[in-house]
Chains A and B, each alone.
Chain A
């Protein structure tokens, strides 16, 4: 039997998984010893959501090399379809875990489907044009959800885009999606542990995809589309594949989001372009194409405003400065050189040479 060689990629991946698992155990320990405030505990699930979003967007921006500004839209699709499912099934499936697993499946598949349908026309565009159109689609999704009324009674499911009265529900009926007021009373199934499991699942899918035949094709398209075509790689297929998987994982984040809140509404704050751009900021600051960087950037930039709460007025100022510093630290050529010189690996080699 051939000896299995641990390549650089495998080592890199193990480190990424390791960081997530280690962080989980440290936080669990801190919760048990009461070292984390309840405010911070409330932030743990959103943290997982942002990490999943950042990693999934990195698949589009870093690996496929296309700028997408509609990521929050796919999250919105995942959130609403799964919340709708859970609300309908709340009495039918009482076993929370099974219900959540099915909601997860439905949320991610419907987000993938929307990603696929939007991707088909949109991925013919490049660069800024693609960014603008995805931005528009993200907003469209949010606005469509805002005028959606869906209700349920003994005769079945009713649907309207006018108001809840025109649903014509019978007395036993119940409005599930109530337009701009969204869905209320979604079962609160999301926990920090589930969030971490979903982060690991996301990492598993993204990292394994990158290091497979299909990931290679996607990155070949990113690096040189003409050459990729000339060696027989199907451009449309792989662009759509990357975009849909990215959308599906944003849907997973949406499921986590909707099952963490009592009432789910589509507002500019949670599913608007502000959110899409914030996710893009995580990806850019963490390093485009660098999955581990996305995780770290998402965590740091989510925790920072909360940690700085005591500083009140200076909070956003410091946040902005940290953004700029992170950008410089990651991308300025001089600093990149400096970082290489003082990297742990190099220092380790030097001590070895001295010995």
Chain B
């Protein structure tokens, strides 16, 4: 089966620093894929390259057969890549519901004139949006907090809301940047279940960056290890984690 996301020879330099060098990855549909490595290895830079925040110097990114290299962030999102951020980036002064509805922006459309003059299409689309957004919130057990401001949610729920918002854009692949950062062990276990649930119920492909080895070994099927911007090794999780190279570079002997 052809890969959903195929990356070849991806490189970027900032001045003299080659932050990502000759990066390649191949993720099949429905896979849960992990990207790990020590701090400063270039993991988030890879995410920023995949989502168009940075333009790569070299390399090709193919999503579902289409070349998306060098496209703008919003075009890449429309093509089917959605992401969350290492430091949570919610719309803090919007309600939880509106955060998800902002994610639905490109899928339920009406013009500004229809919105301002409250034409029939406005009511039709808004109620469809509300329905869909509430469905998503229910999946993440956020439906009771729908009217809260996003800033007032507890930390773990803010993480969940960010995933819900990303899913609202109907992506083909979901990129999670350190979803378990700052979570306690119980919250991490809950998050693992949520990620599995998303994969199974939304038929989603997930690529995640994570430092929490329990989470990585618990849910990821395949791993790529980055070190100093280069790929150290990649393959099935159990093989990678027992690789002596990885243990020295990352896990410690």
A contact residues vs B (CB 8 Å cutoff): 2, 8, 204-205, 208-209, 212-217, 219-220, 222-224, 226-235, 241, 289
For this complex, 24 residue pairs linking A to B, each with C-beta atoms less than 8 Å apart, are A208-B117, A208-B118, A209-B112, A212-B115, A212-B126, A213-B101, A213-B126, A214-B115, A216-B101, A216-B102, A219-B94, A220-B91, A223-B91, A223-B92, A223-B94, A224-B90, A227-B85, A227-B89, A227-B91, A230-B73, A230-B83, A231-B82, A231-B103, A233-B74
CB-CB under 8 A for A220 and B94, given A231-B169, A232-B105: yes
Cβ proximity bits B146-181 to A, threshold 8 Å, 1 near / 0 not = 010000000000000000011011000000000000
A213 to B125, CA, bound (A): 9
CB distance from B79 to the nearest CB of A (A): 10
A230 to B48, CA, bound (A): 10
Who on chain A is nearest to B168 by CB?
A231
Tell me if B17 is interfacial: C-beta within 8 Å of chain A.
no
Say whether A220 contacts B51, CB under 8 Å: no
In the bound complex, residues from chain B placing their C-beta under 8 Å from that of A241 are 112
How many chain B residues have a CB neighbour from A under 8 Å? Answer: 39
In the bound complex, residues from chain A placing their C-beta under 8 Å from that of B108 are 213
Tell me if B13 is interfacial: C-beta within 8 Å of chain A.
no
Say whether A224 contacts B115, CB under 8 Å: no
CB-CB under 8 A for A231 and B165, given A220-B91, A223-B94: yes
A233 to B166, CA, bound (A): 12
In the bound complex, residues from chain A placing their C-beta under 8 Å from that of B115 are 208-209, 212-215
CB distance from B91 to the nearest CB of A (A): 4
Tell me if B98 is interfacial: C-beta within 8 Å of chain A.
yes
**Which of A205, A208, A219, A220 lies at the interface centre, i.e. has the most chain B CB atoms within 10 A of its CB?**
A220
Who on chain B is nearest to A206 by CB?
B116
Cβ proximity bits B45-81 to A, threshold 8 Å, 1 near / 0 not = 0000001010000000000000000000110011000
Say whether B94 contacts A205, CB under 8 Å: no
A226 to B92, CA, bound (A): 13
Q: How many A-B residue pairs have CB under 8 A?
A: 96
Say whether B77 contacts A230, CB under 8 Å: yes
Say whether B91 contacts A217, CB under 8 Å: no
Cβ proximity bits B84-96 to A, threshold 8 Å, 1 near / 0 not = 0100011111100
CB distance from A251 to the nearest CB of B (A): 16
CB-CB under 8 A for A208 and B116, given A220-B91, A227-B91, A228-B102: yes
A225 to B94, CA, bound (A): 14
CB-CB under 8 A for A230 and B82, given A215-B115, A223-B91: yes
Who on chain B is nearest to A219 by CB?
B94
Q: Residue A212 contacts which of B82, B91, B103, B112 (CB distance < 8 angstroms)?
A: B112
CB-CB under 8 A for A216 and B116, given A224-B91, A227-B91, A230-B77: no
CB distance from A111 to the nearest CB of B (A): 17
Say whether B112 contacts A216, CB under 8 Å: no
Residues of B162-219 contacting chain A, CB below 8 A: 165-166, 168-169
CB-CB under 8 A for A229 and B91, given A209-B115, A213-B105, A216-B105: no
Say whether A226 contacts B77, CB under 8 Å: no
Q: Residue B106 contacts which of A204, A227, A230, A232 (CB distance < 8 angstroms)?
A: A232
In the bound complex, residues from chain A placing their C-beta under 8 Å from that of B140 are none
Say whether B89 contacts A220, CB under 8 Å: no
A51 to B91, CA, bound (A): 29
Say whether B94 contacts A216, CB under 8 Å: yes
Q: Residue A230 contacts which of B51, B92, B117, B118 (CB distance < 8 angstroms)?
A: B51
CB distance from B225 to the nearest CB of A (A): 26
CB distance from B93 to the nearest CB of A (A): 6
CB distance from A7 to the nearest CB of B (A): 9
In the bound complex, residues from chain B placing their C-beta under 8 Å from that of A232 are 74, 77-78, 105-106, 169
Cβ proximity bits B103-129 to A, threshold 8 Å, 1 near / 0 not = 101101110100111100010011101
Q: Residue A231 contacts which of B53, B105, B109, B129 (CB distance < 8 angstroms)?
A: B105
Known: A209-B112, A220-B91. 14 other contacts (CB 8 A): A208-B118, A209-B115, A209-B116, A212-B116, A212-B122, A213-B125, A213-B129, A214-B112, A216-B94, A223-B93, A226-B89, A227-B85, A232-B77, A241-B112
CB-CB under 8 A for A231 and B166, given A209-B115, A212-B122, A223-B91: yes
A209 to B166, CA, bound (A): 24
In the bound complex, residues from chain B placing their C-beta under 8 Å from that of A228 are 91, 102
In the bound complex, residues from chain A placing their C-beta under 8 Å from that of B78 are 232
In the bound complex, residues from chain A placing their C-beta under 8 Å from that of B147 are 8
